[in-house]
Amino acid sequence: MQDNQFKIKIKWWYVLLILAVPIIINFLAKIKLDLAVGNGETWVGFFANYAGGLVGALIAIIIANSQGRMVLEQMKQEQQRIEVVQKENEDQRIKEEQEKRDIGIKIVERFLHDEISFNLRRINPAFFECMKEIKNRGPVRNYRFDHNFKYNDYDHIKFEIIKYNEQRISDTFDLYAVLRRIEGLKKIDAANYMDIMTPEEAGYILKNLEKWEMDLFMIYM
């Protein structure tokens, strides 16, 4: 409100100045000075031209100032419009990514949970003890495992789910890599595992299996 009043006052000063210029010129022309060159009419013409130039310059400044404010306002509105469009695009991108993640999760739940549950049930409970012994760098008892897992469902959709950027998909690929690693250990005495497996790998396998067992337990409980 104060800004608007200030602008109005300025405009009234412009009007008063324009109205006062002829009166001031007339007053100055009547002053007789010995140093002045020319008569009153000459000075009236000079002051008229001079004042006209000032008024023209003032009007030009007012117009330029007004246009400048209009340009700044347009730039501000355009920037706001760009920000709104960018936010809408970002929200749409986030929504699409979330939809893709949801689809990926649903694919895993619908087509792979049964197969994953079946494979986890086929793991010999003693295998977990064996991994703990290797992880702890302790002596490993003489186990022997003969694991055989199913990969039909996973092999059927793995190239479909790989395009979904979601942690559940990544965990699924990690699990099946672990299952293939476990299956590759069959017919090898566990006492020799430490020759082909580091404690870090044993810990990773153990953590991966326990995580999936807990996840499936939470789903089917």
pLDDT for 102 equals: 72
pLDDT for 138 equals: 80
Phi, psi of 112 (to 5 degrees): -120, -20
pLDDT tens digits for range 149-173: 999 999 998 887 877 777 888 889 9
Nearest-angstrom CA–CA distance, 200 and 203: 5
Count the neighbouring beta carbons within 10 Å of the beta carbon of residue 168.
Answer: 17
pLDDT for 220 equals: 54
Burial 29-54 (b: 16+ CB within 10 A, else e): beeeeeeeeeeeeebbeebeeebeee
Predicted confidence band of residue 128 (pLDDT cuts 50, 70, 90)? very high
Residue 184, C-beta contacts closer than 8 angstroms, at least 6 positions apart:
none
pLDDT, mean of residues 177-181: 94
Does the structure show a pLDDT above 80 at 56? no
> For residues 22 and 55, is the Cβ–Cβ distance under 8 A?
no
pLDDT for 181 equals: 93
pTM of the model as a whole: 0.55
Whole-number average pLDDT of the chain: 79
> For residues 14 and 54, is the Cβ–Cβ distance under 8 A?
no
> For residues 119 and 179, is the Cβ–Cβ distance under 8 A?
yes
Q: Which long-range contacts (CB under 8 A, 24 or more apart) does 209-213 make?
A: 209/120, 209/123, 209/128, 209/175, 209/178, 210/128, 211/171, 212/116, 212/120, 212/171, 212/175, 213/120
pLDDT, mean of residues 66-84: 87
- Out of 34-48, 82-96, 173-187, least confident range: 34-48
> For residues 130 and 193, is the Cβ–Cβ distance under 8 A?
yes
Predicted confidence band of residue 121 (pLDDT cuts 50, 70, 90)? very high
Nearest-angstrom CA–CA distance, 114 and 120: 10
pLDDT for 2 equals: 46
